[in-house]
């Protein structure tokens, strides 16, 4: 496992809150230029002010990652500004429960548009220049939810599973010429997880998650799962046959019904997104 050079130009989506905000703060220092993208303009500018106070140069892009044209325009503008980009982190995400939806496909469409296509649209514009240079890191923040389907979170699990597979394919295609890393966190304290109506084991702070991601970038790790206990648990869950996994979910449901609480409430537009 090699060690990458220190990134000087960094593009981060979902930078107005949660892990994205923590990453922006972590990387903000003199000599670095950050491109920060998020849909909430006021919150994004507040993060940019704090990063500039730490000595970084900052470009802000108030864009929704679901808007492919706007994301490509922001990426092109940042590339024109800095010339070469060392690190891109596709972090923006959404979590909407898809129980009680019946035949309504709105939730899966919205979740896939942000969690999967939003990440692809973020990374894709930077691939040609990085590949031509033979340098740089492309990072996607996925989730341990991508390893198995979760009750009432089919769209979320599917979006993260798709992202995991796409990143693996990209890593194999680039074959070491560009560092490609998939990040699969467990529970992290963010506005998105604040809406969870159940206990979250091994909960990490957003700052700690950012430090672990940055360490993975330095070490050129290809897949990072944290915290460690969650990593071992997900290895077991991934290897479990369907009948055993189903039985385990039923056991949890019988003892922790709040984990699978069904709600018909309209999804929030603040607490369910980390961007």
Instruction: List, for residues 244-263, the tens digit of each pLDDT value.
Output: 767 877 777 677 666 555 44
Residue 2: predicted pLDDT: 56
Query: Tell me: the pLDDT tens digits for 80-119?
Result: 999 999 999 999 988 777 654 555 688 889 999 999 999 9
Quote the DSSP letter at residue 4: P
What pLDDT score does 5 carry?
76
SS3 245: helix
Beta pairing partners, 188: 204
The DSSP bridge partners found for residue 179 are: 137
Q: Of 65-69, 125-129, 141-145, 220-224, which gets the smallest average pLDDT?
A: 141-145
pTM of the model: 0.85
| Beta strands 93-94 and 273-274, pairing class | antiparallel
Model confidence at 203, in pLDDT bands (50, 70, 90)?
Answer: low
Element at 35 (helix H, strand E) = strand 33-38
Rounded Cα gap, residues 195 and 186, in angstroms: 15
> What pLDDT score was predicted for residue 267?
38
Catalytic residue from among 27, 61, 156, 245: 156
Bigger pLDDT: 12 vs 97 = 12
Model confidence over 150-175: pLDDT tens digits?
A: 777 788 889 999 999 999 999 999 99
**Cα gap 154→92, rounded to integer Å:** 19
- Residue 127 or 260, more confident: 127
* Residue 47 CB coordination number (10 Å): 25
Most confident of 76-80, 109-113, 228-232: 76-80
Token couple for 125:
């514009």
Phi, psi of 124 (to 5 degrees): -55, -45
Ramachandran region of residue 18, left (φ > 0), alpha (ψ -120 to 50) or beta?
left
Q: Which residue has the tokens 């304290």?
A: 189
* 227 preceded by a cis bond (ω within 30 of 0): yes
**Per-residue CA distances from 226 to 106, 213, 216, 251 (Å):** 31, 10, 11, 24
Between 7 and 104, residue with greater pLDDT? 7
Strands 33-38 and 57-62: parallel
Nearest-Å Rg of the Cα atoms of the chain is 18
pLDDT number for residue 150: 75
> Is 156 assigned a catalytic role?
yes
Tell whether the model's pLDDT for residue 38 goes beyond 80.
Answer: yes
pLDDT number for residue 270? 34
Sorted by where each starts, the structural domains of the chain and their CATH numbers stand as 9-258 (3.40.50.720)
């Amino acid at each position: 496992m090699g060690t990458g050079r220190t990134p000087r130009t960094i593009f981060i989506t979902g930078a107005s809150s949660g892990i994205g905000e923590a990453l922006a703060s972590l990387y903000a220092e003199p000599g670095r230029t950050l491109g920060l993208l998020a849909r909430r303009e006021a919150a994004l500018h507040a993060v940019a002010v704090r990063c500039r106070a730490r000595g970084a140069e900052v470009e802000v892009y108030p864009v929704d990652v679901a808007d492919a044209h706007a994301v490509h325009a922001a990426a092109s503008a940042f590339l024109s500004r800095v010339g070469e980009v060392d690190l891109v982190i596709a972090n923006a995400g959404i979590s909407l429960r898809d129980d009680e939806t019946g035949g309504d496909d709105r939730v899966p469409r919205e979740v896939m548009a942000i969690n999967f296509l939003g990440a692809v649209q973020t990374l894709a514009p930077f691939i040609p220049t990085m590949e031509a240079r033979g340098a740089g890191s492309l990072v996607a923040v996925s989730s341990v939810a991508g390893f198995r389907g979760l009750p009432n979170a089919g769209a979320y699990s599917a979006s993260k599973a798709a992202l995991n597979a796409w990143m693996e394919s990209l890593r194999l295609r680039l074959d070491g010429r560009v560092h490609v890393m998939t990040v699969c966190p467990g529970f992290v304290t963010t506005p998105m997880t604040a809406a969870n109506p159940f206990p979250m084991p091994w909960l990490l702070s957003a700052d700690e998650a950012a430090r672990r991601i940055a360490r993975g970038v330095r070490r050129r790790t290809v897949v990072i799962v944290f915290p460690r206990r969650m990593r071992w648990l997900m290895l077991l869950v991934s290897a479990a046959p369907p009948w055993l996994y189903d039985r385990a979910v039923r056991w949890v449901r019988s003892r922790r019904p709040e984990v699978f609480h069904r709600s018909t409430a309209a999804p929030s537009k603040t607490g369910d997104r980390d961007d």
